[in-house]
Amino acid sequence: MSAIIFTEHAANNGKKIIQATLNSEKSLNALTLEMIEILAPKMKEWETDDSVAAIVLDGAGDKAFCAGGDIRNLYMGMTGDGEAGFCEKFFTEEYQLDYAIHCFKKPFICWGNGIVMGGGLGLMSGANYRVVTESSRIAMPEVSIGLYPDVGGTWFLNRMPGRVGLFLGLTASALNAADARYVGLGDRFVKHEKKALMIELLRGCQWGENLEGLHHGVNTVLRQLEQESIEDLPESQVIAHFDQINSLMDHYELKDIVATILELETDDRWLQKAQAAVKGGSPAAMAMIFQQLKRGRHLSLKEVFISEWDLSVNCTRAGEFAEGVRALLIDKCGNPDWRFKSLEEVDQNWVDQLFVAASKDQANPLADM
């Protein structure tokens, strides 16, 4: 079974639409190294092939676009049971692919239906047409496994309205389609049942010969489909809670932010889930996320991926990430033994060491990206 299914749809003016489908429905299309290595070279081919008008990236089945990265193989790499150097290789090639999507000039449509988490959001966030549907559920839940929102999270969380990015990083709160549009992770809302119609309408476009003509065609189709779908757009939880989110985050020190979240008395289920994630999350990861967004506020996109490679590789060596994966995804005991039991116990020097260069003897592998 191919990890990615490629389908060419013949279109007008001698053009074609390429549909690339992550093909691992059982794993909710978790992003594997094999998928990355198949997709990455295709990006260069599509960019230079004049017959390619647009790309549609989607996931098999109706439950998820992509529920995250290949955590199990990363865990084996962290514990010494997998291929030597796997973690470093995975993050290198994953981030190179994410960056290539951000820089892709032709129309690149990501169909973000269902669950979109972690590595899936890395693929989606850089697309120039990010479609969300009535069942989209988007999150960066890394605080629960001792990690941080990577795959460009430093970039897109820092660009969200108000203090929403920090809130989402600390609380792993899920976004629906309306939330995604509001915070800048979704461009168009289209009902999932209209995906086949989207392909047909793209095939029928009168494609121009330049980039402007290609983008005009795609935008026209997605605008029409959004207008036909918009009545089913769910209520935005972020907009409904925007003032409260900003109030909760309105402290200089992380310990005060976390205390304010945990002290909140509410019957609101969305906020209760946020509280639960903070209560059970890794204190070290919270400190890491707080520093990540502060340090990365003014970085370029390339600098973001370079810095995240160092941080991610260091996290695979520090133990907290491995413990979180073990407890939540491998043994599934749900009771991780975090290195630091509370924020007050977190050693800031330990956190700071996660942000140093992970490769001492050679340049960062993304430096020439």
Catalytic positions are 69, 119, 142, 150
Instruction: Judge contact between 98 and 155, C-beta under 8 A.
Output: no
C-alpha 352, offset from chain centre:
24
Instruction: Judge contact between 50 and 13, C-beta under 8 A.
Output: no
Instruction: Judge contact between 156 and 123, C-beta under 8 A.
Output: no
d(CA 100, CA 104): 6
d(CA 325, CA 323): 5
Q: What are phi and psi of 272, to 5 degrees?
A: -65, -40
Return the DSSP state at 329: I
Instruction: Judge contact between 129 and 107, C-beta under 8 A.
Output: yes
**Six token digits for residue 105:** 């000039």
Number of CB atoms found within 10 A of residue 349's CB:
7
**Which residues, including other chains, have CB under 8 Å from residue 37's CB and lie 6 or more apart?**
93
Which amino acid would we find at residue 75?
A: Y
Torsion of CA 131, 133, 135, 137, to 10 degrees: 30
Distances (CA, A) of 81 to 35, 84, 149, 329: 21, 9, 25, 16
d(CA 236, CA 255): 28
Torsion of CA 190, 195, 198, 202, to 10 degrees: 130
Where does residue 342 rank: exposed (0-12), middle (13-18), buried (19+ CB within 10 A)? exposed
Distances (CA, A) of 45 to 38, 221, 347: 12, 24, 47
